[in-house]
Structure 1
Amino acid sequence: MIPVIDCSVRYFEKSKYRALQIRNKWPTHAGQSFIDCLTEEMNRNNVRSAVLVSEIDGDFYQHGELLAITEDNSEKFIAAPLINPNRKNEKNNLQRYIEYGIRAVKLSELGHHSNPLQPVKLNSITSFALWEIFSKYALTVFVRPTVYDSNLLAYLAAAFPEVNVIIESSMVSISPRQATVDEWGRPRLNLPLPTMDRYTLWGLSNFPNVSVVLASQYSFSRCDWPYVDLIDWHGLENFIALFGAERLMWGSDFPFTCINPGYQKCLQTFDGLDHDISPNDLQFVFSRTAEKLLLQKPYAVT
C-alpha cells in the first residue's frame, strides 16, 4: 500500500470549525478537536502526513494554533498559513513565518495589475512584492486562481522560477459570483465545464515550477462520487499527459468531504475515473511529488 500525503486539508480556527460542524451536521465526538478527527481518518486510511492549508484570513498571531499543531507534530502536519496581498504590512507578516521555519504558504489571491487592457507589468501586480520574498526563500505557494486573475499566474511563474507554485482544487478556477454552498456544507461552483479559462491554465504545464493538487471534484462535478462526468476532460490521465505524474498531488479537502463522499472514497476517486495509471505514477500523485515539494529540510534563514 502506498503511504499517502494529503495535500489539501482545509484548516479553520477552532470557533469557525465548531460553527461549521454544527451548521453542516459534520460528525463530532465528545472532546475531539479538528486535529483529532483528521488524525483518526488519516490513521484509518494509511495517510502519513497532511498539509493544513489555512482558511484563516489573519496575521501571524491569529495562526498561532496552526503553528503550534505543526510544531508539535512536524512529521505528520505541514502548515500553509494564508497570506493576503491586500493586508497592510503583509510583507512583515510573511517574514515572521519564514523566521519561524514555514516553507509553504497559501496566497489568498494573485491580485490585479493596474490596467487590464494594457500589457502586464509585473511590478504592477498587487502581490508582486510578496512574490519577490517567495523567490528569495524558494517557498512553496498554494494558489487558487479566479477567472479574473488566472492569466497573471503564467507571468509570475515565469518571472520567479525558484517559487514552487501549487494550483489547488484540480486547477478549476473560481468565479466568486457563481460560488454557493451545497446541502453538505461544501463549496459549490455553478460553472460551465470546462471553464472558459481552461486553456490559460492548461498552458501552465509549460512551467516546470507549477504543480497541481487533484482535489475538490465534488465542488464542480455534476455527479456524485466517483464523478464520472469528469472522465473525458478532467481525468488523471489527462493531467499526467499535461504535467507528468511528478507534478501532481492528491488532496481530500477535509473536513468538507467528511460525510459526502467520506475520506476513504476521496482516496479512491481515481479508481472510478482512471483504470490504466501505472503504480509508479500513482506513487508520485499520492506521495512522492509532495515529498519533493513539501517535506524537504527547511531553508536556512539569513
Structure 2
Amino acid sequence: MAASSSSAAAPCRFLSPLATAASRALLLSSRTPPPTRRRLLLATTATTIAAAMATSSQSGASASSSFKVVDSHLHVWASPQQAKEGYPYFPGQEATLRGDADFLLECMDEAGVDGALIVQPINHMFDHSLVTSVLKKYPSKFIGCCLANPADDGSGIKQLEYLIVQEKYRAVRFNPNLWPSGQKMTNEVGRSLFAKAGELGAPVGILVMKGISLYIQEIEELCRDYPKTTVILDHMAFCKPPTNDEEEKAFSSFLNLSRFPQVYVKYSGLFRISRETYPYEDTAQLLSRVISNYGANRIMWGSDFPYVVPECGYKGAKEAVSHVASKISVSPSDLEWILGKTVSQLFQGAWVAP
C-alpha cells in the first residue's frame, strides 16, 4: 500500500483506543481540543472490550513468553527530514502520514510486538534504500519484503535477485497495478519474477486492492505452474463480509486457494476488510471460515502500520485480533499461530537476537 507521513502526527500512545482513562484524560487536557464524536466512540468501544482483553491477557500470560508476537505486514518510509537528506519520495507519492522507524518502534514497544516484516512502500517505489537502512540498523527486529519491478526490459529480475541475495530481503510483493498497461502478472516477466522468487526461497505477497475476482485466474495459474513458490495473500485478498452472491463467490474463490498448500493468508489491515468501526467484529465470520479452510498455521496477523494509526492506533490493531478471536472461540493455540508463530515458521531464523 502507499501513502504518507506527517511530522505532526499524534503520539502512538494517544491513538490507542485501549489507553488508560487517566492517560487519555491527561493527553486530552494537555494538548488536544474537545473530544470529537469519533474519539468518544473509540473510548466507548475500549470500555466494552477492556474486560475481555484483561481476561485474555491473564490467561495467556504464561503462553505469551513462549512465542514472539510478530507483525507480518507494515511499512516504513522517510520522515520529511530524511526525504530531504537522501531518501526522497517517489514523485506523486509524498507521505502525508508519519511512518518513520522511530515512530514504529515506539508503537511496537507499547503494543508488546516483538518483530515485523516491513513491506516496501509505494512512497519510495523501487528505491529500497530507506527500508534497507532500517533492516540493517535493526537486524533482530525486522526483515524485509521488497517490491517487484515488472518492467518490460526484465531489469526487475536482476534487482529482485540483488535485494534477496545481497541485501537479505526475505520476501517480495507483487502489485498488479504496477504491471504495464494491459499486462498480467502471468506475462513473461511476471512468470520469471515469480519463478526466481521461488528459486531463492522468497514468498510472494500479492496485493489485490481491486478485488480477488480480477486476479484469481492469474494467481491460480502461478500457483499451479510454480508450486515451489510460496504465496501470501495480503489483507485477506480484500474480501469484506459478503453481502450478496457476487461477493460470496469472490470470497469462496479466495477460500478455494487453500487447496494450494503453498498459499498463506494475512489477516491484516482489518479496517480495510471490515464494514464496521473498531474493533471490527464483523471480520469474525471471515476469520472463522479462513481458519476452517487454511488452518491457523497458514494465517498471520498484520497491522498495516502506519495507515492503521489514525484508524484505531497500533496497539488497538493488535488487540482487535484477540477480541475478534474471542467471538468465534479461537483456541489459545490457534491465536498464537495467528499472532506470530505462523510468520516465524515461514521465515525461519528471523527475529532472533544476533
User: Which TM-score bucket, shorter chain as reference?
Assistant: 0.7 to 0.9
Q: Hey, which of these two has a bigger chunk of strand by percent?
A: 1
Q: 1:82 to 1:209 in 2, by over 3 A?
A: same
Correspondence 1:247 to 2:314: no
Structure 2 equivalent of residue 93 of structure 1: 159
Equivalent-residue separation in structure 1 for 2:183 and 2:174 (angstroms) = 22
- Asked if structure 1 preserves the Cα contact closer than 8 Å seen for 2:186 and 2:218, the reply is no
1:219-270 superposed Cα distances (whole Å, 9 cap, x missing partner): 23221011233333x1x22211010010000001110111321111111223
> CA–CA distance in 1 between the matches of 2:269 and 2:259?
23
CA contact (8 A) 1:247 1:289 kept: yes
Q: How does 1:76-87 map to 2 (within 5 A)?
A: 76-86=141-151
Moved over 6 A (4+): none
Cα shift at 1:37: 0.6
Which residue does the alignment assign to 1:272?
323
Q: Does residue 240 of structure 2 align to residue 164 of structure 1?
A: no
- Indicate yes or no: 2:136 matched with 1:71: yes
Question: 1:199/1:96 Cα in 2 relative to 1: closer, same or farther (>3 Å)?
Answer: same
Say whether the 8 Å CA contact 1:52–1:78 is kept in structure 2. Answer: yes
Aligned AA (2:132) = L
Partner SS state of residue 74, structure 1 = coil
Q: How big is the shift at 1:138?
A: 1.9
- In the alignment, the residues of structure 1 paired with residue 95 and residue 202 of structure 2 have an alpha-carbon distance, to the nearest angstrom, of 32
Please say if residues 116 and 143 of structure 2, whose CA atoms lie closer than 8 Å, have aligned partners that are also in contact. yes
Q: How far did 1:294 drift?
A: 1.9
Note the C-alpha offset of 1:149. 1.7
What is the alpha-carbon distance in structure 1 between the residues aligned to residue 256 and residue 214 of structure 2? 16
SS at match of 2:277: coil
RMSD of aligned residue pairs (Cα, Å) = 2.9
Cα deviation digits, residues 115-164 of structure 1 (max 9, x gap): 99xxxxx9746511111211211211111134322221122112222222
| Equivalent residues of 1:172, 1:195 under 8 A apart | no
DSSP 3-state at the match of 1:212: strand
Distance in 2 between the 1:172 and 1:115 partners? 21
The answer to whether the Cα contact below 8 Å between 2:172 and 2:197 also exists between their aligned partners in 1 is no
CA distance in 1, matches of 2:183, 2:104: 44
1:49 aligned partner, one-letter code: G
- How many correspondences in the alignment? 262
Contact 1:105 1:141 in 2 (8 A): yes
TM-score by length of 2: 0.67
Structure (1 or 2) with the greater helix fraction: 2
Q: Which letter maps to 1:105?
A: V
The amino acid across from 2:296 in the alignment is: A
Residue 55 of structure 1 aligns with which residue?
A: 121
2:308 aligned counterpart, secondary structure: coil
CA contact (8 A) 1:85 1:108 kept: no
* 1:106 aligns with one of 173, 187, 211: 173
Q: TM-score, normalised by structure 1?
A: 0.77
Alpha-carbon offset, residue 274 of structure 1: 3.0
Task: Mark the structure with the bigger radius of gyration.
Answer: 2
User: 1:176-201 CA distances to partner (integer Å, 9 max, x unpaired)?
Assistant: xxxxxxxxxxxxx9x96746522221
**Equivalent-residue separation in structure 2 for 1:95 and 1:46 (angstroms):** 33
Structure 2: where are the runs of 5+ without partners?
A: 1-60, 84-88
Cα shift at 1:212: 0.5
Kept after mapping to 2: 8 A contact 1:222/1:229: yes
Partner in structure 2 of residue 238 of structure 1: 289
Partner in structure 1 of residue 95 of structure 2: 19
Q: Partners in 1 of 2:73 and 2:117 — Cα distance? A: 6
Residue matched to 1:224: 277
Deviation, 1:64, is 1.2
Counterpart Cα distance in 1 of 2:264 and 2:317:
20
Q: Which runs of 5+ in 1 are unaligned?
A: 27-32, 117-121, 174-188, 298-302
Q: Deviations over 1:91-121 (max 9, x none)?
A: 1111211221222111122869x999xxxxx
CA distance in 2 between counterparts of 1:123 and 1:215 reads 25
State the 1:206 CA deviation: 0.7
Query: 8 Å contact 1:8–1:251 — kept in the other structure?
Result: yes
